[in-house]
Amino acid sequence: MLPEEVKSLVHDGYTALMDQRCHSAEQAFSQLLSALNPSELKHLNLRIINYVVIIYGHATALLGIGQPEALTKAEDQFKKIIEQYQEERFGCLAYYGIGKVYLRQNRFSDALDQFMKSQTMVNHKMVPGVLTWPTTSWVIEETRTENLQLILKNCIEECKFPPEPDAICRYQQCHGHSKIQIFFTDPDFKGFIRITCCQQCRV
C-alpha cells in the first residue's frame, strides 16, 4: 500500500465517522487494517500508535453501526487494543469504548465498570496524549484529557441512574447478555409475540 492510499483511506474513514456515516467509515478502516502490517509501518512513516488509532476508528465505526454483530466486533477490537498494545497507553480509550458498547446494549452495570476503569487510568495520567488521525492534523477529540474526563463523568452518571426497564425476562435459562432487563432500545429486541388461548384454559 502506498502512503497516498493510506492518507486517502484515513481521510475517508474519519470524515465518514464525523458525518455519522458509520458503514462507510467501517469499510475504510477495515480496508486499512487488512492492508497494513504492524511490523512494516516505518516505510509508510507510521508508528504503532497510528495503527492503534486505526483499530480504534474501526471499533468506533462498528459501535456506530449498532447492530448486535457489529457491537460484538467492536468489543473485540477494543479488547485487542487493551491486550496487545499496552505500551501505547491507549487503554483508557479502549475501556471507554467497551463501556459505550455495553451502554448501547443497556448493560448499565457492566458499562459502569468499564467507564470506572477508564476514569482510574485518566486520573493516574495513563493516557496516550493528544492524538490526530494518522497522516492528518485532525485531532481526535476524546484524546484530549479534559474532554475524555467530561465524557466519562456523563457516562458514569447515566449508568448510576439507569432508566426503568420496559420488561423483565422471567425465563430462568435466559442468555440475553447476562441481563434479565428488557429495553425496547436493546439492539437485539425483536418485538412481542402475542399468544391467545382459544381453549378457555386457566393459566
In words, the CATH class of domain 3-163 is: mainly alpha
Which residue's entry shows cell 476514569? 119
d(CA 142, CA 31): 24
pLDDT digits (tens, 9 = 90+) for 74-105: 999 999 999 999 999 999 999 999 999 999 99
Q: Residue ranges per domain, the chain?
A: 3-163
Predicted TM-score (pTM) of this structure: 0.90
The pLDDT of residue 176 is 57
N-terminal to C-terminal alpha carbon distance within the chain = 66
Say how far apart CA 120 and CA 135 lie, in whole Å.
30
Residue stretches of the chain with pLDDT short of 70: 174-178, 202-203
Integer Cα distance of 54 and 11 in angstroms: 11
Dist CA 173 CA 120 (whole Å): 35
